[in-house]
Amino acid sequence: MSVRIESTDGIMRAKLSGEIDHHLAGGMRTALDEAILREKPRALLLDFSDVSFMDSSGIGLVMGRYRLMNESGGEVEVVGASPQIRKVMHLAGLDKLARFS
């Protein structure tokens, strides 16, 4: 599991990799929240292109970050999610909250 974070011009790109389940989501959440609170980006790009598996723990991960970004009027965009990951996100209606590309 890893989270690689890069920021430019108020846009934070977080590249997640590995499998997102209950065991690993906690570490990703901490890494993301620390960076968001420190840098206060206006947009967060969650890059799922290297995520090989995700269960509903990933829904909590995206929704929680959406809430955090929303508090300061920021946006969340999900990029690179595989069809299977999109299927899980779709069940939760995440496609109505975050932008997908």
Partner 1 sequence: MKTSNSMKLVFPARSVNEGFARAAVSAFVSSLDPTVEELVDLRTAVSEAVTNCIVHAYRDRDGDVCVTCRAYPERRVTVTVKDRGCGIEDVHKAMEPLFTSMPGGERSGLGFTVMENFCDRVKVRSVPGKGTCVTLEKRFKDLR
Residues from 60 through 79 that contact partner 1 (CB under 8 A): 60-61, 63-64
Q: Which residue, 3 or 9, has its beta carbon nearer to partner 1?
A: 3
Q: Which residue, 7 or 82, has its beta carbon nearer to partner 1?
A: 82
Whole-number minimum distance, CB 20 to partner 1, in Å? 10
The single residue listed with the structure tokens 């955090």 is 68
Pairing between β-strand 99-100 and β-strand 75-79 as defined by DSSP bridges: parallel
- Give dist(CA 67, CA 82) in Å, integer: 23
Instruction: Compute the C-alpha angle 75/77/83, nearest 5°.
Output: 155
Q: What residue ranges bind partner 1 (CB under 8 A)?
A: 19, 21-23, 25, 29, 53-57, 59-61, 63-64, 83-84, 88, 91-92
